[in-house]
A and B are shown apart, each in its own frame.
Chain A
């Protein structure tokens, strides 16, 4: 008998549709406005904090839905965005600098669904509101700075080697070294080549050697400049109170920063651009810290607290500032004890060497200086920043230090990592500029969702009516497939972690609704043709599906190729659109071919039929 479906195919269809429906389900529950509390550098978030937070909020007449503790974070769910704003302010004031208090949208997915990995679709910034920045690292200044260092470095190295040169000069992104005789030039070239494998040396007229960076070294410099900026931006974004920030490298010299939920872009920009710096100072051992704490600070010294709040008395004279640091890395020494390796530029090396010469055996402090936004504004509406100084390390100088030295005796690898991070943050960085900004206010975001949903519903309704009217009973089958298709798109979008729903993405879904019926139209028109050619209904169904299949496959594969290219080459809105388009093509193939066949077989298959309602 024709048009029978094997049992396993029913199971397959039920399984696929059921799984998609299950993962699409969290979208119905939606998201709560929430406040997320996480620990800063010197604090820890524990479950015990919940009662005090609850009573604090209650005393401020803030209604909460639920307070949860997961993954070392506390999540306070509230009823609406106004409460969220107030609650954040109250909590931030109480908890202070040691905690990060961020606004968030937390999925309100039931426990059982969440434990199956279910979560709603991620909404793009155009639907959720927020800021998107594209920042460009000024590579010219990064390279120019590196070239500058090369000049000082060559002078010292050649002098130490007793190779007499006439001049060392920076010419654009290259360094020219001029000599008086050919012999010295030859020996200098031999020496420099061996010493700097990552530089390219070429001989020029007039007894000149020109040094440029090799391609590899340039890539390294660029990479470092971008990475360093990313580290710093990540650090600062925490201050902004954003729960799910995205800071990512894009291309060779750009950084994408996405801050969902942020509305005050001016504040965001000022905080991202705030500077941090470092100072190395000797510890003042001649005077007593206790006297200083009691108000008798010697004129040549200052009092700075360290990270646990213990005051330290330091010399006023700054030995070296952070803008001479080129790199800082954490690692372990030969005995496996954590340490931080620091590289300075040549000027910094000279200063360090002079400063430490007479101080061997004495403690040296590293002070981290940061400018934090106070939240208040001055008369020009600019944010007021507060200078915060903190001693992040005190180490005893073991020997005269040069361009490369290390800080040892750290307690844990984590401490070493933190210190290296702070050192890098305070080092000189290549400047960045914002080259693209897209900010969507919360009202527009909400409106976009509403319009998008309306368009999807309206489009779906029209197509459903049309198909029912035109194909009657077969139209109902196609309509079931169309609705199942929508459920599957939502389910798949929720399952793929990287997929984000955007406004163009919603337009893509609408378009898919219109185009997804195409496969069914092809099949049904074929069935009608076969009927007209005088085949029996069962044979018409069989041949209709059979001969339409390869056409549908070809047509969909070519459209899929177009979608794939859009995804690979496109950015922003194009990517969002292509994701839903591709998912829509894949799911519509399944629903329009397999699901409808199972339904058609279930309804009409294996029986004697006089006619078909098509």
Chain B
């Protein structure tokens, strides 16, 4: 397969894989006002990277377990005195700090760490590609299987309970999906920009959608356009690829907002 030998092709496929899972999940993040939750999970994952390097286990496993532990801890501690954003802030930044300190004790990973903070989509290998698409497919399947239940408990927890759906379980499912997206996206856009790939396409899609499903689809399209043109632009201007992708998404978001503002009958 000579096609996959091209690093540009691999980068594009990696980006598209991440977008496929991140955009629909991002819609839930926007609807549930969990933006900061995505951020916190991403920050915490750097601790996962450090631990994985220290104990010589797979990065994916390290990131996934730390992100999961954080999601579970926050869910369990929520509503016990501290406001959610305070709790998330404490967990996010302290695990980021612990992660950075832990990494400094490990020899020879200083350069590597930059790659995890900002991602290195051009260095995506075949195995990475498999991991990304596998993880994305899992997240997508999870969302599809629980779509109605997730949507109902997003709408109103009481309505969900009355219909026999446990809002806590749906929250947990979203947390797990979030942890998985962060873990597979770390290579593509890096820890610091994952939240952007969750939020920006979903937010840009909002003005054009009349149903939740439509919003998720449009978000995927906007995310895909950002990846495709971001990689091309980064190649032409020799700019860092991950941030360029996010820049394109941000420009699309601005364009969408302006279009929405100019529309005569705003929905």
Chains A and B belong together in one complex: no
Which residues of B line the A interface, CB within 8 A? none
